[in-house]
Amino acid sequence: MSTTFASLRHDWILAEAVSLFDLPFNDLLFQAHGVHRANFDPNAVQLSTLLSIKTGACPEDCAYCPQSVRYDTGLERERLLPLEDVLAAARRARSSGATRFCMGAAWRSPKDRDLDQVVEMVQGVKAIGLETCLTLGMLTDRQARRLKEAGLDYYNHNLDTSPEFYGNIITTRTYQDRLDTLEHVRAAGLSVCCGGIVGMGEDRRDRAGLLVALANLPKHPESVPINRLVQVEGTPLYGVDRLDGLEFVRTVAVARIMLPGSYVRLSAGRSAMSDELQAWCYFAGANSIFYGEKLLTTGNPEADHDRELFQRLGIRPLHKEKVQEEAGELEMRACRCGAAELPASA
């Protein structure tokens, strides 16, 4: 596999990103697929499984989230899962083909005493042979270092949307709070999983602004989840106009161009996507998915259906060793090539 890093940049401006979104659909996908093919095997997809280890009662006011204590969504609150339940879920994920096991807890930020149990989960999942990822809310520098010492591989902390639209979605945590956590995670030596949600009532400039914020981080996230809003009755975003499917594909394509060395993950919202729409996303540069029956509190295509779709498309899952090999290769090439520029149009 030859890897081209001529496109690795950290100096994008909003007008450039918008111009990519505005390209004719075929031109955009042609450019995105070329970047994808130059940097990754175009017929391989990394599989992750996500488990909610602590559900509900979150004090934040994220307008999309059924786990917020502020909204009546009928969600049952659950305490932190026992270690054995988490490990049993990890074993099922491994047997289904997942290479990474992600654990999410509905906290604003974890208390130090909470981390005692989470550390045991990380160590147990690592022992099963899976990569580990956590999403626990905001972290201090010390907490990030402790998780790294426990063997954690990835930490997920999304920017959600553009800085300009952010205040329409959440008021209990600032954009800078999110950036600070990402800085702590990077300083601890953890890999970063960071993306956002589209279809929350934002416009195209906001989708472009989110990708600019991600691409201009000091180091591109290793994984970039692109979530399509799952509307939940009782949340403020229930009933918002649904995002056009082709606009979602455009978002994936622009993410691939601006973040050429990152795994772009199809995340929440896949259960409402047709097979054809998912196929367009894979062509546009998506090469990672959340795999399994549930994402925290929302549905997800069943693993059997994903396997059938992969077979129809000639796609194969990436094995853990190959994911690690590609990550190392991308890291080395990124360090050598720096931030050379790529024209914003085809």
- Residue 232 has phi, psi (to 5 degrees) of -120, 125
| 46 bridge partner residues | 288
- Predicted confidence at residue 183, as pLDDT, reads 97
- Predicted confidence at residue 293, as pLDDT, reads 54
330 CB contacts (<8 Å, ≥6 apart)? 3, 39, 261
Closest CA to 267 of 245, 246, 294: 294
Query: What distance lies between CA 307 and its chain's CA centroid?
Result: 21
CA distance 322 to 208: 31
- Predicted confidence at residue 133, as pLDDT, reads 94
Active site residues: 58, 62, 65, 102, 133, 193, 265
**Which token pair is 108?**
């604003």
Q: pLDDT tens digits, the chain, 346 residues: what are they?
A: 333 444 689 999 999 999 999 999 999 999 999 999 999 999 999 988 889 888 777 888 888 888 787 777 666 677 789 999 999 999 988 888 888 999 988 888 888 888 999 999 999 999 999 999 999 999 999 999 999 999 999 999 999 999 999 999 999 999 999 999 999 999 999 999 999 999 999 999 999 999 999 999 999 999 999 999 998 888 999 999 999 999 999 999 999 999 999 999 998 888 889 999 999 999 999 999 987 654 444 544 566 888 899 999 999 988 754 545 554 555 555 444 443 334 333 3
CA distance 7 to 334: 10
DSSP letter for 171, please. S
Contact 20, 254 (CB under 8 A): yes
237 CB contacts (<8 Å, ≥6 apart)? 63, 64, 200, 201, 229, 231
Residues counted in the chain: 346
- Predicted confidence at residue 80, as pLDDT, reads 85
- Predicted confidence at residue 113, as pLDDT, reads 85
Closest CA to 104 of 231, 222, 225: 225
**Which token pair is 292?**
């399994």
Coil/strand/helix, residue 201: coil
Contact 56, 75 (CB under 8 A): yes
How many CB atoms are closer than 10 A to CB 191?
18
- Predicted confidence at residue 75, as pLDDT, reads 66
How many CB atoms are closer than 10 A to CB 258?
27
CA distance 287 to 317: 9
Conformational region of residue 231, where left means phi above 0, alpha means psi within -120 to 50, and beta covers everything else: beta
Coil/strand/helix, residue 235: coil
How many CB atoms are closer than 10 A to CB 33?
18
